[in-house]
Chain A
Amino acid sequence: MTLLVEVPPPAPAPAAEVPPARRSAGRRLVGAAAPYLYLAPALALLVVWTYRPLLQAVQLSTLSWNLLPTSPATPVGAANFREVLTAPELGDAVGVTALFIVGLLPFTIVLPVVIALSARRVRGRARTLYQALVFAPMLVAPVASAAIWQWLLDPGSGAVNRVLGLQVNWLADPTAAQVAIIVVTGWHVLGFATLIVSAGLGGTDDEYAAAASVDGARPRQITWRITLPLLSPTLVFLTLMTILLSAQWSFPLVDTLTQGGPGDATTSIYYLLWEYGFRSFDAGHGAAAGLVFFVVFLAVAWVLVTLSDRLSFHDD
């Protein structure tokens, strides 16, 4: 998520860094190399252990191989890509992913804004407590939260049906399962999104609201005309994260609650990819799908970042 925010320019180097007039060539070389030496260990790790597997994925994607060291890997050219792009389940998975994204937006944008705005009306310790309570679900490991919800959603003795007075078999009915995955994922990410919105609110300048208030603006007008526009970079950032990461956030819950089912009702792109790689043990297929996903992901991220620069309202 870090790529998406512009990295501000560095503070100017302190005056003491100015080199003395006479320095040996060797010393100057070390001086010029120093920043790179500081960065080298972290960068080396990232490049080797992230970009290298990605390159290997390119190689794997042209093979037909079941990942077993003993069985032969046959080169098949671009066949894997053709199969991935024409697979009927791909369209469904894209649809499910889109549904998750749309379903999660209320939990990552609307509710966090409401919570953060209402938290502003609370003062002092109660406010810290309120934020901490909303933040709590984020601390429950996703798999652990899947375990809780499995019981809350139980059609017989589950609390959800009893509290709402419903008779829904949440994880066995396709639509209900989709709703359940969205609500549980939303429960999990709500705290994080609220934290980001609160931080964004803290960063906006109160003077504009104060000035508008002096000019006779009503609280509602201030919220809609001043606070939310000032918050727009944060909201765009969250929208972007939701679009890019919905499938990733829901993955542990899908894997433990529904295994992509019933049918393919909760098989998102992310889950489909994981199935290619680790259920059907078709390495070539999985790698090709992974690369397609990666390229689409980068393209979407790039478009969103470009758009976000235009959509955001900056106060400077």
Chain B
Amino acid sequence: MSTREKIGWGIGGVLIIVYCLFPIAWIVSLSFKSSSDISNGAFLPTIATDENYATILTGDAAELFLPALRNSFGICLIATALACLLSMFAAYAIARLDFPGKKLILSTALAVAIFPVISIVTPLFNLWREIGLYDTWIGLILPYLSLTLPISIWTLSAFFREIPWEMEQAAQVDGATPWQAFRKVIVPLAAPGVFTTAIIAFFLAWNDFVYGISLTSTSASRPVPAALGLFQGASQFESPTGPIAAAAVIVTIPVVVLVLIFQRRIVAGLTNGAVKG
């Protein structure tokens, strides 16, 4: 590769990184700006302040934000745990057992993944009101399960197919009890797959917007993306930008931390599932 080409690639790479990171850097900076500072258009705050974080954590907006944060964490963690548990059973059957109708059942289940959410959200809204699930945690956990289960089953069965299950028997031949064989051999082999699945599921649920705004109405169950949407709707003309920025930073942190910890595993998971199929 010639020097000129190298420079070209380098500049391109830098431009792309700027495009990707500039908005993120901007919002972090906004979140530390005081209200008088926000519209001055400067990148760095004149004086860094924590007043925006104070507003959403202890101040006026705390009533809207804190319950939403609690709801989001609770709902997404429960949905993720259930999705992992259920998809472990399903993926085990798909990867290890052979049975008639497998393909049909699988496609029916996985077809859900390309369902336009918007087509079922109105009937779901109506159904939830009839059976009393509207604006409850369960009312969001159930749709989040249908959002996360197809991709969880898919990712996890890709992992489970790679596990050398014979080792379980080998361990038993060597004198391990079935439980020991399962716990000492199979669990460590399956763990990365389960982690990947958990992160992808959490990510999907955490970033949901349509269900969040359609199936909730109060702080009893309203998740963060919906609450953040309210922050904004109310502020069409006089934006509480600082608090929104602070909230956006706080909302993004859990996902960033999760991904940084498990980045390699997520990539591996998507590779197994998506492309090598």
Contact = CB atoms under 8 A, between A and B. Distances in A.
Nearest to B96: A13
Contact of B277 (A6, A56, A244, A252): A6
Contacts of B117: 248
A35 interface: yes
A208 interface: no
Most A CB contacts (10 A, CB to CB) among B19, B126, B127, B255 go to B126
A66 to B, nearest CB: 11
B23 A149 contact: yes
A130 B126 contact: no
A283 B16 contact: no
Nearest to A6: B277
A234 B210 contact: no
B194 to A, nearest CB: 15
Interface string B238-267: 010100110110011001100110010001
Given A10-B95, A46-B109, A144-B248, A199 B90 contact: no
Contacts of B127: 52-53, 56
Interface string A1-15: 111111110111110
Given A142-B225, A143-B229, A151 B241 contact: yes
Contact of A41 (B86, B97, B112, B274): B86
Contacts of A1: 113-114, 151
A92 interface: no
Interface residues of B, number: 107
Contact of B20 (A38, A39, A134, A158): A134
B13 to A, nearest CB: 6
A57 B119 contact: yes
Contacts of A5: 274, 277
Nearest to B256: A139
Given A140-B24, A141-B207, A251-B209, A38 B114 contact: no
Contacts of A219: 1
Contact of B116 (A32, A38, A41, A248): A248
Interface stretch (A18-26, A209-217, A288-296): A288-296
24 contacts: A1-B113, A1-B114, A6-B277, A7-B106, A34-B93, A35-B97, A42-B89, A43-B105, A45-B86, A45-B145, A46-B112, A50-B120, A57-B120, A121-B9, A135-B259, A136-B256, A147-B244, A151-B239, A158-B41, A237-B275, A251-B209, A277-B121, A287-B122, A293-B116
Given A118-B12, A121-B1, 9 more contacts: A2-B154, A10-B97, A43-B105, A49-B145, A148-B27, A152-B23, A274-B214, A277-B122, A286-B122
